[in-house]
Amino acid sequence: MKVLALFVLACLLSWTAQAGEYNLTVDRVMIDTGEFTKSGIGYNGSSPGPVLRFKEGEDVTIHVTNNLDVSTSIHWHGLVLPFQMDGVPGISFDGIEPGETFTYRFPIVQNGTYWFHSHSGFQEPDGAYGAIIIEPEGREPFRFDREYVVQLTDKHPHSGDRILRNLKMSADYYNRQQQTVGDFFSDVADQGFWSTLQDRLMWGDMRMMKADIEDVQGFVGLINGQSPEQNWTGLFEPGERIRLRFINSSAMTYFDVRIPGLEMTVVEADGNYVQPVTVDEFRIGVAETYDVIVRPREDRAYTIFAESMGRSGYARGTLATAAGMSAEVPELRPAPLLTMADMGGHSGMDHSGMDHGDMPGNDSSMTMDHSGMDMSGSTMVMDHAAMGHAMPEADDNPFYADGSGLIPEAADGGRFLAYTDLRAQRPLYEEREPTREIELRLTGNMERYVWSINGVKYEDADPIRLQYGERVRFKFVNETMMTHPMHLHGMWSILDVGQGKWNPIKHVISVAPATTVYMETEVDAPGEWAFHCHLSYHAASGMFRKVIVEGGPDSVADGEAEAVDGQEGEA
Domain residues for the domain of 249 are: 142-175+211-336
Based on the fold, state whether residues 165 and 313 are members of the same structural domain. Answer: yes
User: Where would I find the H helices in 286-382?
Assistant: none
Looking at the domain assignment, is residue 292 inside a domain? Answer: yes
Cα–Cα dist 532/543, whole Å = 6
Cα–Cα dist 322/47, whole Å = 25
**So what's the pLDDT on residue 447?**
80
Based on the fold, state whether residues 381 and 235 are members of the same structural domain. Answer: no
Looking at the domain assignment, is residue 28 inside a domain? Answer: yes
**What is the bridge-based pairing of β-strands 242-248 and 289-294?**
antiparallel
Looking at the domain assignment, is residue 493 inside a domain? Answer: yes
Residue 165's CATH number: 2.60.40.420
Based on the fold, state whether residues 390 and 283 are members of the same structural domain. Answer: no
Nearest one of 278, 191, 160 to 537, comparing CA atoms:
160
DSSP 529: E
Looking at the domain assignment, is residue 506 inside a domain? Answer: yes
User: How are strands ordered across the β-sheet holding 314-320?
Assistant: 232-235, 314-320, 302-308, 255-258, 282-284
Looking at the domain assignment, is residue 253 inside a domain? Answer: yes
Based on the fold, state whether residues 372 and 283 are members of the same structural domain. Answer: no
Contact 470, 549 (CB under 8 A): no
| φ, ψ at 48 (rounded to 5°) | -65, 165
**What is the bridge-based pairing of β-strands 314-320 and 302-308?**
antiparallel
Please report the sign of the dihedral spanned by the C-alpha atoms of residue 497, residue 315, residue 36, residue 124.
Answer: positive
Based on the fold, state whether residues 100 and 155 are members of the same structural domain. Answer: no
Contact 223, 152 (CB under 8 A): yes
Looking at the domain assignment, is residue 262 inside a domain? Answer: yes
Based on the fold, state whether residues 394 and 423 are members of the same structural domain. Answer: yes
From residue 87, alpha-carbon distances to 73, 75, 543, 552 in Å are 6, 4, 19, 21
Residues 6+ apart with CB under 8 A from 553: 468
Looking at the domain assignment, is residue 487 inside a domain? Answer: yes
Nearest one of 281, 542, 260 to 404, comparing CA atoms:
281
Based on the fold, state whether residues 83 and 30 are members of the same structural domain. Answer: yes
Based on the fold, state whether residues 79 and 163 are members of the same structural domain. Answer: no
Tell me, what amino acid is at 226? Q
**So what's the pLDDT on residue 383?**
33
**So what's the pLDDT on residue 186?**
55
Contact 261, 234 (CB under 8 A): no
Looking at the domain assignment, is residue 400 inside a domain? Answer: yes
Strand partners, 222: 153
User: Where would I find the H helices in 125-239?
Assistant: 160-169, 181-191, 193-205
**So what's the pLDDT on residue 170?**
82
Based on the fold, state whether residues 224 and 314 are members of the same structural domain. Answer: yes
Based on the fold, state whether residues 167 and 119 are members of the same structural domain. Answer: no
- Cis bond upstream, residue 48 (ω within 30): yes
User: 3-state class of 484 per DSSP?
Assistant: strand
User: How are strands ordered across the β-sheet holding 52-55?
Assistant: 52-55, 129-135, 112-117, 75-77
Based on the fold, state whether residues 168 and 260 are members of the same structural domain. Answer: yes
Based on the fold, state whether residues 369 and 476 are members of the same structural domain. Answer: yes
pLDDT digits (tens, 9 = 90+) for 119-153: 999 999 999 999 999 999 999 999 999 999 999 99
Structural domain tally of the chain? 3
The low-confidence residues of the chain, meaning pLDDT below 50, are 1-18, 179-185, 188, 196, 200, 203, 206-207, 210, 345-390, 394-405, 557-571
| φ, ψ at 473 (rounded to 5°) | -105, 120
User: 3-state class of 25 per DSSP?
Assistant: strand
